[in-house]
Amino acid sequence: MDLDFTAAEDAFRAEARAWLTAHVPHTPLPSLETEEGFAAHREWEGTLSADRWSVVSWPEEYGGRGASLLRWLIFEEEYFAAGAPGRVSQNGINLLAPTLFEHGTDEQRARVLPSMASGEVIWAQAWSEPESGSDLASLRSTAVRTDGGWLLRGQKTWSSRAAFADRAFGLFRSDPDAAKPHQGLTYLMFPLDADGVTVRPIGRLDGKPAFAELFLDDVFVPDEDVIGAPGQGWRVAMSTAGNERGLTLRSPGRFTAAAERLTGLWRETADPSDTALRDRVADAVVKARAYRLFAYAGVSRIAAGGSIGAESSLNKVFWSELDIALHETALDLLGPLGELSDGAADAPAHGGWAEGHTFSLAGPIYAGTNEIQRDIIAERLLGLPKGRR
């Protein structure tokens, strides 16, 4: 791995930094988990897209810049360092888009990706069900064959962004007689305003509807919205899961920028004699930088023809635990003020630390619980025997 950047990469970083300096809102946008904030973040996606910064690594024909993964990492570092808004379109661009690039048709990519890049269509993730979370293969929602497409029936829950999003993607059981639970599944896209769809928001700890339940009652989906072959949804879904646990959902720039802000918070507020708190700040900074190096190593491996594979589980466990530790340290530095949300006039960082902490608590659960990830690490990376389940 070469840790030096080329002149062209430095120029790319400078271009990104200049654009972000000129365009990042001076006042943080409202939380994207509210209707007002969702609309504001959608508008921000349009601003990014207008100058092709919303999906820098995508081909130009879909709204990107055709940038390498290394340049994507550089952009992400600049993006988070600039304090730019959270990405309301992340489910689409980080999860569905890689799936379409790998398993979709040319028609699907041409139809879906440009409106995703511009923020015109925001996507929700619809995988979990009331009795099917980390054990995804136990899902019960069905896709029944009908003339020209499929009828979706069942219930999805904890669907990220679904309270205000336009469309969703998920996995459905299309062959109830398949020999094994992960067989006979089909990966489909569907509109959230279609006949038969009921969206019921779920309040987060702070009351904001970050998730929603979806009730599907004979929702018609045409054949053109099946990704991959019918019955082969598990194989398609695993590429989505790999992206979710690996690089795309939690790029290192997010943590290095947060660690820098934490260091600043320490300088502003801490008692220098509190060495225990000082050590926690230092630990967060060291781990954020270690994660950055791990990510660069992964990108170098991919650029050389390799893949992330089961190591995405290492990523997932590491960043989810780092995220909690980093935010808990910030709240301990802030004291009671740290509990104030974005609705309070005195909330530090406009409530960003409080909201970030709330969100971080979900990290060890979503994208496959950390218990499941540790099983994968033990079995596939360390070669240990399967444990009891």
- DSSP 3-state of 126: strand
Of the candidates 23, 81, 29, the one whose C-alpha atom is nearest the C-alpha of residue 352 is 29
Q: Count the Cβ atoms, other than its own, within 10 Å of residue 199.
A: 18
Residues belonging to the active site: 244
- Could you give the C-alpha distances from 216 to 112, 113, 131, 191, 241, in angstroms and in order? 22, 25, 16, 11, 23
List, as one string, the DSSP characters of 21-89. HHHS-SSPPPPTTSHHHHHHHHHHHHHHHHTT-SSTTS-GGGTS----HHHHHHHHHHHHHTTPPP-TT
Per-residue DSSP letter, 385: P
Report helix, strand or coil for 232: strand
Pairing of strands 167-173, 226-227: unpaired
73-85 per-residue burial string, b: 16 or more CB within 10 A, e: under 16? bbbbbbbbebebb
Helix (H, G, I), strand (E, B) or coil at 142: strand
Question: Do residues 211 and 33 lie in contact, with contact meaning Cβ atoms separated by under 8 Å?
Answer: no
Asked if 225 contacts 291 with a C-beta cutoff of 8 angstroms, the reply is no
φ/ψ (deg, to 5) at 75: -60, -45
Alpha carbon 158 to its chain's center: 14
Among 242, 219, 79, smallest CA distance to 151 is for 219
| Number of neighbouring beta carbons within 10 Å of residue 195 | 9
Tokens of 74: 């550089």
